[in-house]
Amino acid sequence: MDLQLSGRVAIVTGASKGMGLAITRTLLEEGARVVAVSRRGTPELDALAGPALVHATEDLMDPEAPARVVRRAVEAFGGLDILVNNAGGPPPGVTLPRFGFLTPNDDDWRTMFEFNLFAVVRAVRAAIPAMLERGGGSIVNISSGNARHPGPMNFDYNAAKAGLNNLTKGLSEEFGPQGIRFNTVSPGPVRTAWWTEEGGAADVLAQATGADRQAVMDKVAPEMMNLTTGRLVEPQEVADAVVLLASPRSASTTGSEYAVDGGFLKQV
């Protein structure tokens, strides 16, 4: 199926690995031109180098970074059609999961909201004028199943993602008539660096459960989270949903939330 993305200009945040890397790669394969945003490069991102890719080295904890990225896209490719706010999860230097409401302090809450909500607000604010100049566009925000599945861990992260869901719905109402579509993709647990890196979620849960880290990813975590598929989600599975929503083939889809979560969410 032709997704009609050839020549479109996209920004992808958190693009150096995991879901962001898969989204970037898929957009390039579909003929889009991409500004890939990350704090540092990776060999995997470097392997995608070419005339259709610009790597913007930015830290989204800097309030001015999103506006610089949008200017970079306009300067490099002449405009902006797609924004994928993928950067999120643990802020730089933070390890999740955190157990219990009393664990995060005020600074933890502020940092979590800065990375998972306020950075998105700034990116959207910067992107809207550029998209309106092109007659519209598509913005996809990466949320989490935990936004609608509260539990006794990661209270600050879950609340930030719930705010992101609400924000996306409101934006779709205001800017839909002007041609900008807003949608959310809510992954479940995805086999990314958040889980796999040394000291990441797999190691935290291994310590809590007494299992080894590989068993956590292959068996313990899917069972603990009651995943219907019995396995963690793969980054490419999220990327496929994101790129379809970014495409003009989804022109009547706005204000929606797509769960790519292995059956994590059970609510009707």
CA atoms of 157 and 108, how far apart (whole Å): 10
Residues 6+ apart with CB under 8 A from 87: 13, 14, 20, 37, 38, 60, 115, 119
Active site residue 258: no
**Cα first-last separation, the chain:** 30
Other CB atoms within a 10 A radius of the CB of residue 150 amount to: 12
Catalytic member of 157, 182, 194, 258: 157
Q: Which residues pair with 84 in a beta bridge?
A: 12, 140
* 186 DSSP 8-state letter: E
CA atoms of 174 and 89, how far apart (whole Å): 27
| Alpha carbon of residue 135 to chain centroid | 24
Report how many helices (DSSP H) and strands (DSSP E) the chain contains, helices first. Answer: 11, 7
Burial of 201 (0-12, 13-18, 19+ CB in 10 A): buried
Amino acid sitting at position 142: I
Cα angle 39, 245, 32; round to 5:
60
Residue 247 near residue 3, CB atoms below 8 Å: yes
Q: Which residues are catalytic?
A: 157
